[in-house]
Amino acid sequence: MGRLFQFFYKYRAFFTFLSLEIISAWLIIQNNQYQSSKYFNTSNELVANVLATSNNVKEYFSLRDINNQLAEENAQLKRLIQQQAKSLLNQKLSLIDSNRLNSYTYTSAKVINNSISLAKNYITINKGSEDCIEPGMAVISSNGTVGKVKTVSKHFSVVISLLNITEQISSLIKPGNYLCTSQWDGVDPLLIDLKYVPRHVKLSLGDTIVTSGYNAVFPEGIPVGIVDKFELKEEALFYDVKVKLAQDFSQLSYVDVIKSVQKVERDSIEAITIKK
Query: How confident is the model over 232-252, as pLDDT tens digits?
Result: 988 889 999 999 999 999 989
pLDDT of residue 165: 95
Query: How confident is the model over 202-217, as pLDDT tens digits?
Result: 999 999 999 998 877 8
Look at residues 122, 210, 232 and name the one whose alpha carbon lies nearest to residue 166.
122
DSSP state of 102: T
For the chain, the structural domain boundaries read 2-61, 104-260
Query: How confident is the model over 69-107, as pLDDT tens digits?
Result: 677 777 677 667 766 655 654 554 344 444 454 678 889
pLDDT of residue 203: 92
Taking only Cα atoms into account, the Rg of the chain, rounded to an integer number of angstroms, comes to: 31
pLDDT of residue 95: 41
Look at residues 112, 134, 171, 167 and name the one whose alpha carbon lies nearest to residue 263.
134
Report the first-to-last Cα separation within the chain, whole angstroms.
Answer: 97
Protein fold of 104-260 = Thrombin, subunit H (2.40.10)
The count of residues in the chain is 276
Query: How confident is the model over 172-212, as pLDDT tens digits?
Result: 999 888 999 999 999 999 999 999 999 999 999 999 999 99
> For the residues 32-47, what does the mean pLDDT come to?
59
**b/e per residue, 70-79, with b = 16+ CB within 10 A?**
ebeebbeebe
pLDDT of residue 32: 66
pTM assigned to the model: 0.64
> For the residues 219-244, what does the mean pLDDT come to?
93
